[in-house]
């Protein structure tokens, strides 16, 4: 979570802004979901202990295709879990929401808490959301298997950012962008420019990528 402000109008804005004397933009909160790790602390500990996070004993997919074999792969823990009630999402919509979007919501919450701010304090504030993603693998599945009309809201990539903005009741810009491998840096640049040009007072910036189907692995290898 990055932010700046010349004169915060409230205590909550002051916490979110975290200004410096030269009005530099600072990163005040961080969160991450890595292979085999539920947070940055666990990720740091495993790195220091030189643990291999991209080697799992079980096959990634139960697939007989010779090109779908992945001897080295990282598995995100608890990827099937999501507290829809906490984020005020109807259970039918939650069941049709892209897994990546659900995890982005959780990590946005963790980053806000890490910044020392309560999410309720950001309601109505000029907080921007800038999310970098790639291919969303769940969208087509939801349209074909759960035809209740929730696929549009749950599978659209724009909702990766818009869902966070809606949950926070944030009034800043809300973008989901795809810039391939440089997406996270582009999102950070867009958020920095938005703050400096006065479009928002704080920003949530994130990058996410999940590979849930062996077809994508086959395409990448080819």
Check pLDDT > 50 for residue 115: yes
Rounded CA separation 4/149 (Å):
40
Domains defined for the chain, CATH in brackets: 2-30+83-221 (3.40.47.10)
Rounded CA separation 210/217 (Å):
11
Rounded CA separation 99/123 (Å):
25
Residues 6+ apart with CB under 8 A from 214: 60, 61, 63, 65, 68
Mean pLDDT of the chain: 83
CA dihedral 118, 123, 128, 132 (to 10 degrees): 60
The model's pTM: 0.81
Rounded CA separation 205/110 (Å):
13
Give the tens place of pLDDT for each residue, 120-160. Answer: 999 999 999 999 998 776 666 666 665 566 666 666 778 88
Tell me which residue of 162, 160, 173, 22 sits closest to 99, measured CA to CA. Answer: 160
Check pLDDT > 80 for residue 20: no
Rounded CA separation 17/42 (Å):
27
Q: How many CB atoms lie within 10 A of CB 56?
A: 16
Give the tens place of pLDDT for each residue, 189-198. Answer: 999 999 999 9
**Residue-level pLDDT at 93:** 83
**Residue-level pLDDT at 92:** 82
Check pLDDT > 50 for residue 14: no
DSSP labels for 119-171?
GGGGTTS-EEEEEE----SHHHHHHHH--SS-HHHHH-TTHHHHHHHHHHT--
Are the C-beta atoms of 104 and 160 separated by less than 8 Å?
Answer: yes
**Residue-level pLDDT at 7:** 41
Cα 41-80-46 angle, rounded to 5 deg: 20
**Residue-level pLDDT at 154:** 64
Instruction: Label residue 80 by pLDDT band (50, 70, 90).
Output: confident
């Amino acid at each position: 979570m990055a932010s700046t402000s010349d004169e915060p109008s409230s205590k909550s804005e002051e916490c979110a802004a975290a200004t410096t004397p030269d009005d530099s933009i600072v990163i005040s909160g961080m969160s991450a979901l890595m292979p085999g790790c539920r947070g940055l602390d666990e990720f740091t500990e495993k790195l220091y202990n030189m643990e291999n996070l991209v080697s799992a004993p079980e096959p990634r997919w139960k697939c007989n295709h010779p090109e779908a074999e992945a001897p080295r792969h990282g598995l995100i823990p608890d990827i099937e879990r999501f507290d829809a009630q906490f984020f005020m999402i109807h259970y039918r919509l939650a069941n049709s929401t892209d897994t990546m979007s659900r995890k982005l919501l959780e990590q946005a919450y963790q980053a806000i808490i890490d910044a020392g701010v309560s999410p309720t304090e950001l309601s109505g504030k000029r907080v921007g959301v800038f999310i970098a993603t790639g291919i969303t693998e769940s969208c087509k599945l939801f349209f074909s298997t759960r035809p209740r009309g929730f696929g549009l809201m749950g599978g659209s990539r724009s909702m990766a950012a818009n869902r966070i903005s809606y949950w926070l009741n944030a009034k800043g810009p809300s973008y989901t962008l795809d810039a391939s491998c440089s997406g996270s840096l582009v999102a950070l640049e867009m958020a920095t420019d938005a703050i400096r040009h006065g479009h928002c007072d704080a920003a949530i910036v994130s990058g996410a990528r999940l590979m849930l189907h062996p077809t994508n692995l086959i395409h990448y290898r080819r």
